[in-house]
Structure 1
Amino acid sequence: MAGGLVALLDDVAALAKLAAASVDDVGAATGRASAKAVGVVVDDTAVTPRYVEGLSAARELPIIRKIAIGSLRNKLLLILPVAMILSQFAEWALTPILMLGGTYLCFEGAEKLWEALRGHTEDASGEPKDEKTVIAGAIRTDLILSAEIMVIALNEVDHEPFVSRLIILIVVAIMITILVYGVVALIVKMDDIGLALADGATGLREKIGRGMVKGMPMVMRVLSTVGVVAMLWVGGHILLVGTDELGWHTLYSFVHHVETAVKDATGALGGVLGWITNTFFSAVLGLVVGAIVVAVLHLVPRRKAEAHA
């Protein structure tokens, strides 16, 4: 009896060690997957604040909360099941689907740029934004960025067993959503924080508070611009990498060659300047593709309509 109990305890201890090792492995893999997706997290954080520009301050956080819930729904209910099924049975389909999303990002970024050049934006009419339209547009754009985050994470852990992959992607989805929309909420409420600091204060605290209030409109304009550039950059990079994975290596090889040459020629700054080089060419590709889609969807139909009139 005693011997059997000792053997049972040994088995339990062995199982506990195995479970602990599995948890450690999943945690490490989650960290790697999250780190690989950091670049897209930055883009997502830059894109989102522009959706609450011109809205009532009292509605900013509720709208961001709704967008965050929509983002989590995108990741867990739409992207995760599709990614897991495709990675298990049709891994070849992930790249073309991601490239379609990248093309949409290029289109949206180019369209915003075209509207700015024409002096016509969504807010030019002076009418208040419709919250449902704002939230729907933000969630639609988030779907593309979230898809890239999830696919990048999936590619990093594709060697893991199915259940481990599933757990890792769920953790990544939750962590990144909290990170992105926590930072976004902080950015859009920074002026309120500044007012709270300056209220009834004197000296340095008052100066900091007033500086935050005065500086936030400029910060929001910069973030809005960065958001548009980020759409072109991320969309172009998706297309650049996708064409290479599908067997057309010309564009990717050219950019990689220039990036490597810049790294080799600039010494200690090589890593940063190489990244900037890759980002520049990705954004240019995104702008070209986006401009083509804008022309097809906007300019060609308009000219046909004018010719008919």
Structure 2
Amino acid sequence: MATGLLALLDDVAALVKVSAASLDDVPTQVAKTSTKVSGIVIDDTAVTPKYVVGLDPKRELSIIYQIAKKSLINKIVFLGPAVLVIGYFFPWVIDPLLMLGGAFLCFEGYEKVHSMFSKHDEAHSKAESEIPQITPEELEKERVTSAVRTDFILSAEIIAITYYTVEDKPLLNQIIVMLAVAIFITIAVYGFVGLIVKADDIGLHMAKEKFSAPTRKFGRGLVKFMPTFLTILGYVGTAAMLWVGAEIIAHRIPFLGHPLEALEHSLASVPALAWLAKVIVSAIGGLILGFFIEKVVVLGRKLFKGVRKNNA
């Protein structure tokens, strides 16, 4: 019996060693995954500040906290387990889901680019001005709901890409990496968003007379720069949507992915240039794909309206 117990303890010790060695690789996997989802993170960071525009400045951080909390719950409670279950029982579904998410990002990116150059902005603004007035509390709730809905799509892409990165790892590794990425990304995104939306308040505080002249000058410059920064961030977010969406799809379609890899390898001697070339080509491809998706969506809406009229 003693011999059997010792053998069992040896097996347990061996299992612990294997598990420890496997877990040692978790930080590397988290870093690798975080790099892969960087484009989505940029987009999420760029999109979120718009949801607090026009609301009470005193409520900005509270609103950001509400969005962040719901984002983390979605990642950990709903999306993470769902992707693990799908990946285990229906692994063939992961790629189509990723491509569907990529197509959505391209569509959203194209819509944003189109709106920048559209001549219907004034009509759109007039239509918005005719919307019935709502209370600040209702507007805040509506903004949070809209932000969480957009974040859900981006979070789903982040979790799916995370799983795709660690699908060949043990289940414990998959769970730990997905939890770590979910927590790290959420804190990073919404911590930075909170800093962005309060930057003008920080600048106003620094511009007070009690501070030194250089500090006051920096504070005033910060206040003046923030609108420009938010505009630039919006452009970067749109580009990131197109780039990430197209790259997700290209990596799963060989005749699209191989030329992209060939381009990157041809410029491998200059890594920054290789990355920039891949991003530009992907963004252009995403814009083209978004254009065609938008046409299909518009056609689908027209057909649906026609069917409804005929049925009526």
Q: TM-score, normalised by structure 2?
A: 0.79
Q: How does 1:180-219 map to 2 (within 5 A)?
A: 180-199=189-208, 200-219=210-229
Cα separation, 2, equivalents of 1:28 and 1:269: 22
SS for the counterpart of 1:110 is helix
Is 1:89 equivalent to 2:89 in the alignment? Answer: yes
Is 1:273 equivalent to 2:273 in the alignment? Answer: no
Identify the residue that residue 230 of structure 1 maps to in structure 2.
240
Cα separation, 2, equivalents of 1:100 and 1:151: 11
Return closer, same or farther for 1:14/1:62 CA change in 2, 3 Å cut-off.
same
Identify the residue that residue 256 of structure 2 maps to in structure 1.
251
Identify the residue that residue 29 of structure 1 maps to in structure 2.
29
Cα separation, 2, equivalents of 1:283 and 1:298: 22
List per-residue Cα deviations over 1:62-85 (Å, max 9, x = no partner): 111111112112211221112101
Structure 1 stretch displaced more, 286-295 or 52-61:
286-295
Q: How does 1:10-29 map to 2 (within 5 A)?
A: 20-29=20-29
Are 1:107 and 1:290, in contact at CA under 8 Å, matched by a contact in 2? yes
The residue type equivalent to 2:281 in the other structure is N
Are 1:236 and 1:285, in contact at CA under 8 Å, matched by a contact in 2? no
The residue type equivalent to 1:162 in the other structure is L
Identify the residue that residue 48 of structure 1 maps to in structure 2.
48
Are 1:237 and 1:279, in contact at CA under 8 Å, matched by a contact in 2? yes
Q: TM-score, normalised by structure 1?
A: 0.80
Return closer, same or farther for 1:7/1:55 CA change in 2, 3 Å cut-off.
same
Structure 1 stretch displaced more, 274-283 or 186-195:
274-283
Among residues 220, 223, 229, which one is paired with 2:230 in the alignment?
A: 220
Return closer, same or farther for 1:237/1:135 CA change in 2, 3 Å cut-off.
farther
Structure 1 stretch displaced more, 140-149 or 233-242:
233-242
Identify the residue that residue 144 of structure 2 maps to in structure 1.
135
Cα separation, 2, equivalents of 1:174 and 1:269: 29
TM-superposed deviation, 1:171: 1.2
Return closer, same or farther for 1:216/1:123 CA change in 2, 3 Å cut-off.
farther
TM-superposed deviation, 1:181: 0.6
Cα separation, 2, equivalents of 1:82 and 1:287: 27
TM-superposed deviation, 1:203: 1.2
TM-superposed deviation, 1:121: 5.3
Return closer, same or farther for 1:58/1:290 CA change in 2, 3 Å cut-off.
farther
List per-residue Cα deviations over 1:214-266 (Å, max 9, x = no partner): 11112122223333333333333333334x1xxxx3333444445555x26x8
The residue type equivalent to 1:181 in the other structure is Y
Are 2:109 and 2:287, in contact at CA under 8 Å, matched by a contact in 1? no
Return closer, same or farther for 1:121/1:21 CA change in 2, 3 Å cut-off.
farther
Cα separation, 2, equivalents of 1:212 and 1:23: 43
Return closer, same or farther for 1:107/1:16 CA change in 2, 3 Å cut-off.
closer
The residue type equivalent to 1:197 in the other structure is M
Is 1:110 equivalent to 2:119 in the alignment? Answer: no
Cα separation, 1, equivalents of 2:66 and 2:160: 24
Is 1:295 equivalent to 2:298 in the alignment? Answer: yes
Structure 1 stretch displaced more, 123-132 or 205-214:
123-132
Return closer, same or farther for 1:121/1:212 CA change in 2, 3 Å cut-off.
same
List per-residue Cα deviations over 1:30-73 (Å, max 9, x = no partner): 33332332232222212222222222212221111111112112
Cα separation, 2, equivalents of 1:12 and 1:240: 44
